[in-house]
Structure 1
């Protein structure tokens, strides 16, 4: 007879769409406690921006039900959680509250708040960042980060944390509102913050894996960057002899051209539908692995194409670029986004030999029903490939997740943090 695993990790989420904040809190707490059937060690709360005027009431009300519990959360244009039947739902543009409770045996949970003024200079040593977080690098922590999009210096924070904790997985998102002048809400240990970043470091018996679905498909072939300065591309080198697969790299030859020439030829050879799409949904993927020959989905950091200079044939992109890197043009639409996520989910299921316990989804406001024309697309696709794994999260103003070993702020992306025991 098989003995049950002692001290196993447990993770559950609950969702309420009640328009009364008091009623919504009571419902999610009751549902989550009933489902968890264990003492929680961490709570995560995501609240719809439809409740913006009541953000200040959330923590005091929640503390009555869950006193002395490490808690982290933020407001979002939409929230994700499981309804009473256990089915994950994405609720956009209406009142909703999502609560996740996790029982994490042998895991140290340390929450923190960082204002922009607290961040060390980027030239500071790792110890300066470690002292701000309060977790030694030997603890090998993983992070969940929720930040204000306007005042957090989030890119500096991600760069600093990668420097100080190079092996740590960092996922999260920027708090989002319903547009206009809606105020940001960040929550940490029963306090409301309007600026900065809240986070939690998890160390001990916990493994975090990620899926970063940037929602694009490649067109053309990869190119070597021969000339580049800051975020401006001046020269590209073709790689002919490539496999028909759009991610296959061929042999390097000296056939340099301006990026604009490459782009014009590429667009000319697209289908009518893709040519139309390229007018408003054209992106640049930057390969993150300098040595990998056969590039595939997940190997590129997707960045916006900001503009062109027809005088010199240069293009500007939304990130720094340097000679020697490889780039490939990409297109984004609903079909590409769906296929990208499914490819990554299928690959994760094939490669993972362990069962996940819980997961968090940080999805761009530009995805969801507005992109797919139907609700719950990303979350239900995740559940098809990871049945029984509790999923929660929110719709972000920017998504935090790793590509190629470094952590980036993304757009139009769904980032999944997947949690299990070692």
Structure 2
């Protein structure tokens, strides 16, 4: 008979990590002692203490394997912790033959190199990444290609210091996390925080991240038509409100990756974006929109519920953009409360990320559940 008990989890805030951990372990209860794999997230107030926290949580729970990372904020069920010392963990009881922790250069291995053996590559992975890693988008794409599902999810550390990660020890750089076999049931979806404000445009001329022509017109003229001339002259205002969306190729669901607008050259009518661009690509202009974000979050929750097919959700991980949460949904952990209202009161932990990983791509301004 399949075990459908909720995974033990705990979370707490305190200036002393020892007190926070004590309360979190107490919240998790005695069943935590039967776990095999834990997910641990701490705010960057505790980053320098992470080696000691890892040692203590392993000793106090008896759980041998841990993955996770540091974030400027962390998530728990219906609770955000932002800019304050806090930690959250969840403990699973998966058989140790069904998962494998990795870090650094391990992420470059081919599927046949994994301990699961030849002919049984990992099926899915939860990953944490370092934004300073060269060619990180290529690494994410290549690593996802090693999964039997072609799918990984996770986030890029958002710490204001080193951005430490966990993979049975404290590590830095590259990707780290845990791969799973096909025997671990997973449902995942992504929700957008920005919505398109106009049609898709064709890039005619671009160099690096600077776009000169769209739809056979100066790029800034096209931008002005959709956003208005006043907004285009106020870069600071536009940068916090208007973004660029790059449609995902060969995606039937209309998926797109949001990138920041980083510069406008009024005289030469150029646009600079936070992504390399080249002729032949497409883009849309989009805006941050709380109402649309709420609607899309509800859509994602409905999709997850449908994928669960009536099975109990034992636990969840949420990788959320630092610009979402209270910045987009309002105070009092409104976004995480929506998740609980939509899917029920299940254990949830995660962190606020600099960027989010879903399938084989790095996104921005999204939430990945």
> Normalized against structure 1, the TM-score is what?
0.75
1:105-152 superposed Cα distances (whole Å, 9 cap, x missing partner): 59701001115xx665xxxxxxx4436755557334211112333347
> Which residue of 2 is the match for residue 46 of structure 1?
41
Distance 1:391 1:152, change over 3 A: farther
Kept after mapping to 2: 8 A contact 1:147/1:195? yes
Give, in whole Å, the separation in 1 of the partners of 2:258 and 2:218: 20
1:323-355 superposed Cα distances (whole Å, 9 cap, x missing partner): 544322101144443343234334544566343
Matches within 5 A, 1:15-30: 15-30=11-26
Deviation at 1:387, TM superposition (A): 0.9
Deviation at 1:169, TM superposition (A): 2.3
Deviation at 1:220, TM superposition (A): 1.7
> Which residue of 2 is the match for residue 103 of structure 1?
93
Kept after mapping to 2: 8 A contact 1:9/1:105? no
How many pairs were matched up? 366
Give, in whole Å, the separation in 2 of the partners of 1:291 and 1:11: 34
1:337-378 superposed Cα distances (whole Å, 9 cap, x missing partner): 334323433454456634333211112222223444403122
Kept after mapping to 1: 8 A contact 2:32/2:91? no
Kept after mapping to 2: 8 A contact 1:345/1:385? yes
Kept after mapping to 1: 8 A contact 2:112/2:120? no
Q: 1:397 aligns with which of 354, 366, 369?
A: 354
TM superposition outliers: structure 1 runs of 4+ over 6 Å:
none
Kept after mapping to 2: 8 A contact 1:137/1:165? no
1:9-66 superposed Cα distances (whole Å, 9 cap, x missing partner): 74242112243323332332233244x5783231111112222332231122122123
> Which residue of 2 is the match for residue 253 of structure 1?
none
1:366 aligns with 2:366: no
> Normalized against structure 2, the TM-score is what?
0.84
Give, in whole Å, the separation in 1 of the partners of 2:166 and 2:236: 43
Deviation at 1:391, TM superposition (A): 1.3
1:78 aligns with 2:73: yes
Give, in whole Å, the separation in 2 of the partners of 1:279 and 1:301: 16
Report SS of the residue matched to 1:367.
Answer: coil
Q: 1:344 aligns with which of 300, 311, 326?
A: 300
1:330 aligns with 2:286: yes
1:308-337 superposed Cα distances (whole Å, 9 cap, x missing partner): 445654433223444544322101144443
Deviation at 1:302, TM superposition (A): 1.2
Which structure's CA Rg is the greater one?
1
1:379 aligns with 2:336: yes
Kept after mapping to 2: 8 A contact 1:107/1:205? no
Give, in whole Å, the separation in 2 of the partners of 1:340 and 1:6: 32
Gaps of 5+ in 1: 83-87, 121-127, 238-255, 417-422
Deviation at 1:96, TM superposition (A): 1.5
Q: 1:154 aligns with which of 107, 116, 136?
A: 136
> Which residue of 2 is the match for residue 415 of structure 1?
368
Give, in whole Å, the separation in 2 of the partners of 1:350 and 1:119: 32
> Which residue of 2 is the match for residue 245 of structure 1?
none
Report SS of the residue matched to 1:176.
Answer: coil
> Which residue of 2 is the match for residue 222 of structure 1?
200
> Which residue of 2 is the match for residue 241 of structure 1?
none
Kept after mapping to 1: 8 A contact 2:35/2:93? yes
